[in-house]
Structure 1
Amino acid sequence: MKKTRDQNWQMSDTYRIGVLLALAGGFLDAYTFLCRGYAFANAQTGNIVLMGIQAARGEWAGVFFYLVPLAAFFAGILVAEMIRKRYKMSQSIHWRQLVVVLEICILAVAAWIPQGNWNMAANAMISFVCALQIESFRKINGNAFVTTLCTSNLRSATELLYQGVQKKDRGLLTRSIQYFGILLCFVMGAVAGGLLSIAFGLPSVLFVCGLLAVAFGLMFVK
């Protein structure tokens, strides 16, 4: 099957980009949980559960605290789609590279936002970044992947493992291993996020800017 320009022009759908983005995704969840008031950057399901707990307690300020990143995540999906529609056929730069640049800029600002009352703003910015990523990077080597969450990848990895063993199909087993690899990278990112957040505090999120900068550079390779 003939490749489209979007597939052939650069390597945004390759495994190495997926590894970098999964590391970034795990890091950001650990960072916001430890440094930004026990919220999640990626795991909006977790934020919804925590928001429900706050509502059950009648703590409406807490409800709003978790509602804000949810709204920011919603906005990030919309903006990613707008960027894709506007720049998909650009000859000078790939639209996903624009998304990565936007992510880097937002995280660089969030790194210097004070804790306390400003945590809500920082969480909103980081959730917005995660929404940009989850909407823009959906596939690795043609397979559907999520670089900011684990549940769907774990399901796919386990399903492919079972099918690969049952059918003695190395292709399916290879795909399963790739999913487990992305899961491992997410965990490694979370470990790094935990350690660096404890050691360096708020500026530690700049480490993710470095990962994204590497991904941006790699996407110039055809």
Structure 2
Amino acid sequence: MRIREKDKDKGAIKVYQTSEHRITAATLALVGGFLDVYTFLCRGYVFANAQTGNIVLMAASLATLNFNMVLTYFTPIISFVVGIIICEIIRSKIKNRADIKSHWRQIIIAIEIIALAAVAFIPIGSGNFAANIIVSFVCAMQMEAFRKVQGITYVSTMCTGNLRSATAYIYTWKKTGDKKILENGLRYFKVILWFVIGAAAGALLVPLIGEKAVLVAAALLVGILLLMRKEYIS
């Protein structure tokens, strides 16, 4: 599906993929922040999205010859890579198939929902290894499938790239005074804010409901799946 959005300055209608809508981006950022806190607090201090953090921790574990922890951090990294590959395979196989009614991104979201629902029933402790692999796989698919918000490239699962882009846009706006550039910079800051809100929600809910907290992220993705089946003017 596509969305049509009114241009405030020119009054024209711009057409975007529904996957680029600001509500989609905000919800995905919520999920990204939530899942990073979920795996960190609930699944043995492993990052679901921030693979840089996992690489640093893996290197530190390697330096101290703690090979069990090396494996703990290495497997989510590999799972993340596999998730990106699988997402690209699904996209290439389904994107131009007229016989498949669902958009390929809807299939990605459906896979995410099923996978996260399964994680909710994997016990803490003995199941952390499997849970981290699954969640990292899910996060990779989300990052690869959803790359734009209202025409600009962003990342829904981490903040570093968004912070760089936001800062660059604000700097350029200060030099040029172009309001469109300012709007783009603010879009990045909004995505970061939603990521922070998702992380904060995870920090509150994980201690209360443990492994079942991941169902909150799954429920948010159900909302995205429903949103992607609509077309409207905003």
Q: Percent identity over the alignment?
A: 46
Deviation per residue, 1:46-91 (Å, 9 max, x gap): 0001101111111001100111101100110010001101111244
Q: Distance in 2 between matches of 1:24 and 1:176?
A: 21
> Which of 25, 32, 44 in structure 1 is aligned with 2:39?
32
TM-score (norm 2): 0.90
Q: Which residue of 1 aligns with 2:154?
A: 145
Amino acid at match of 1:89: N
Q: Match for residue 93 of structure 1?
A: 102
Rounded to whole Å, the distance in 1 between the matches of 2:191 and 2:224 is: 15
Which structure carries more helix by proportion? Answer: 1
Gaps of at least 5 residues in structure 2 are: 1-13
Instruction: Return the alpha-carbon distance in structure 2 between the equivalents of residues 117 and 49 of structure 1.
Output: 24
Q: CA RMSD in A?
A: 1.5
SS of equivalent residue, structure 2 residue 30: helix
Larger strand fraction of residues? 2
| Deviation >6 Å, runs of 4+ | none
Contact residue 167 and residue 185 of structure 2 kept, 8 A: yes
CA contact (8 A) 1:10 1:221 kept: no
Q: Which residue of 1 aligns with 2:9?
A: none
1:12 aligns to what SS in structure 2?
helix
Q: Secondary structure at the match of 1:124?
A: helix
Q: Give the match's secondary structure for 2:126.
A: helix
The counterpart of 1:64, out of the listed 53, 71, 82, is 71
Question: Equivalent residue for 2:4?
Answer: none
Structure 1 regions of 5+ residues with no counterpart? 1-6
The DSSP-based 3-state class of the residue aligned with 1:40 is coil
1:62-121, Cα deviation, whole Å (9 max, x unpaired): 100111101100110010001101111244110000000000000000111011132011
Would you say the 8 A contact 2:16–2:150 is kept in 1? no
Is 1:76 matched with 2:83?
yes
For 2:211 and 2:66, how far apart are their aligned partners in 1? Answer: 27
CA offsets per residue over residues 137-169 of structure 1, 9 Å max, x none? 011111100000100000000000011011111
